[in-house]
Amino acid sequence: MPAASSPDAATAIALTARRPAVTADRLVAEMVPPPRFAGVSFGSYLPDGSQPSQYEAVQILEQFAASLNGSAAAPKRGWFRRSAPAPAGPAGIYLDGGYGVGKTHLLASLWHATPGPKAFGTFVELTNLVGALTFRGAVETLSSHRLLCIDEFELDDPGDTVLVSTLLSRLVENGVKLCATSNTLPEKLGEGRFAAADFLREIQGLSAHFRPVRIDGQDYRHRGLPAAPPPYTDAEVTERASRTPGAALDDFDALLEHLTNVHPSRYGALLDDVQAVFLRGVHQVDDQSTALRLVVLADRMYDRELPITASGVPFDQVFTEEMLRGGYRKKYLRAVSRLVALARDSAK
C-alpha cells in the first residue's frame, strides 16, 4: 500500500498513487530555467576579479544575446527540405569551465535576455523530450525556437550523445541558436574543467557551429561528497509529513518501483503541488537502471527546491562504491550532492 494511506498521514500525497499524463505542449512549456535561476541576469553574475575569462564570458554572451534580439525568429521549415544557410556568426556557444564558476547562471541569463520562443533544459530533459515526442516530433516542435539552452551536456552514453548531436544539427539547419554547458567525462573529473576539445569531438559534425568560451575559476569538486544529515526514524518521518502542507509521503522501495512505470519526462508532473518530500526506508541502490531513474527524480526535486525528510541510510550512502567509480559517476555525484542539500533544507 502507498505510504500515504495510513491514518497518520491522511493529508499527505502519495507519489506512488500518481500516473501523470503530460502533453507535448506542457513538456516544451516547462523547458525554462529552474526556480533558483528564475531571476538571474548578466548583471547579477559577479565575476571573480582574479579571473579575466569570467568578464570576457559575460561580454561574449551579452553580444550573443544582442544578436538574437536583433534577428527574426527562426521559421519552422519542412522535415525534408534543406534550409537556407545559417546567418553569420556561430550557431552555438559552449561554456567550458569547472564546477562552481557560474556556467548555469550565465546560461540562464542568456535565456532570460533572449526573446522567445526559446527553451532551456538539461541534456537528460532533452533526451526525455525526444523519447516522449519521437525524434521527428522534437525537431518539428523545437525548430520554431530562436534559442535552445542545454545545461549539463552529458557524454557518458554514446547513444544519447549521437542522438542529441543529430537533433541539434537539424535545429541548426533550421536556424535555431544554441548554448551549452557540459558535464565532465568520468576520467576527467580531477582536471577541474571539461575541456572544449573533448566536447567538440564528441558532438562530431556539430562542432563547427560552436564557439568555445572558457570560464576559469576555482573547482570545488576536490572537496568530495558532502556529509548528509542523520536520517530520522520511520515514525518521525510519518509524523512530520502529517503536519506539513503539501507533503508527499512514500516508502522508498514503493517509489522506486513506481518510477519504472512512469516515463522520466513525467517526473516533474509527478511532483505537481508537492511542497516537501518524505521518504521512509531509504536504502542503498545497487541496480543501475533504478539508480539512474533516481538521479532524474533527484534533479526534478532539486529544480523545485523540495526539502526531503527521510529515514533509513543517509543520502551520501544511497549509491554503491562501484557506481561512484563507474561510467555514470558524475551523475551519481551530482544526485548525492542535490539529495543531501535537500535533506539539509528539511532540517532548517
Contact of 310 with 280, CB cutoff 8 Å = yes
Q: What are the residue ranges spanned by the domains of the chain?
A: 3-21+224-346, 49-217
As to burial, measured by CB atoms within 10 angstroms (0-12 exposed, 13-18 middle, 19+ buried), residue 272 is exposed
What is the residue whose three cell numbers read 579575466? 52
As to burial, measured by CB atoms within 10 angstroms (0-12 exposed, 13-18 middle, 19+ buried), residue 140 is middle
What is the residue whose three cell numbers read 535537500? 342
For domain 49-217, the CATH architecture is 3-Layer(aba) Sandwich (3.40)
What confidence score (pLDDT) does residue 319 get? 96
Query: Distance between CA 130 and CA 171 in Å, rounded?
Result: 13
What confidence score (pLDDT) does residue 333 get? 83
C-alpha dihedral sign at 321, 322, 323, 329: positive
As to burial, measured by CB atoms within 10 angstroms (0-12 exposed, 13-18 middle, 19+ buried), residue 174 is buried
The type of residue at 32 is V
Collect contacts of 317-325 with beta carbons under 8 A, ≥24 apart: 317/228, 317/284, 318/282, 318/283, 318/284, 318/285, 318/294, 319/284, 319/285, 319/291, 320/284, 320/285, 320/286, 323/286, 323/288, 323/291
Query: Distance between CA 73 and CA 144 in Å, rounded?
Result: 7
What confidence score (pLDDT) does residue 155 get? 66
Residue-by-residue pLDDT tens, the chain, 348 positions: 344 444 444 478 999 999 988 887 888 888 999 888 889 999 999 888 888 999 999 999 999 999 998 744 433 434 333 443 334 467 899 888 776 688 889 999 999 999 999 999 988 889 888 988 899 999 999 999 999 999 988 766 667 777 888 898 899 999 999 999 875 443 343 343 444 565 556 666 666 778 888 888 764 333 455 578 899 999 999 999 999 999 999 999 999 999 999 988 889 889 999 999 999 999 999 999 999 999 999 989 988 889 999 999 999 999 999 998 887 887 888 889 889 989 988 876
Q: What would the grid cell of residue 128 be? A: 526525455
What confidence score (pLDDT) does residue 325 get? 85
What confidence score (pLDDT) does residue 328 get? 81
Locate all alpha helices (DSSP H) within 99-251, ordered by sequence. 103-113, 123-133, 135-142, 158-173, 196-202, 234-242
What confidence score (pLDDT) does residue 24 get? 78
Q: What would the grid cell of residue 189 be? A: 573529473
Query: Distance between CA 61 and CA 107 in Å, rounded?
Result: 9
Contact of 51 with 293, CB cutoff 8 Å = no
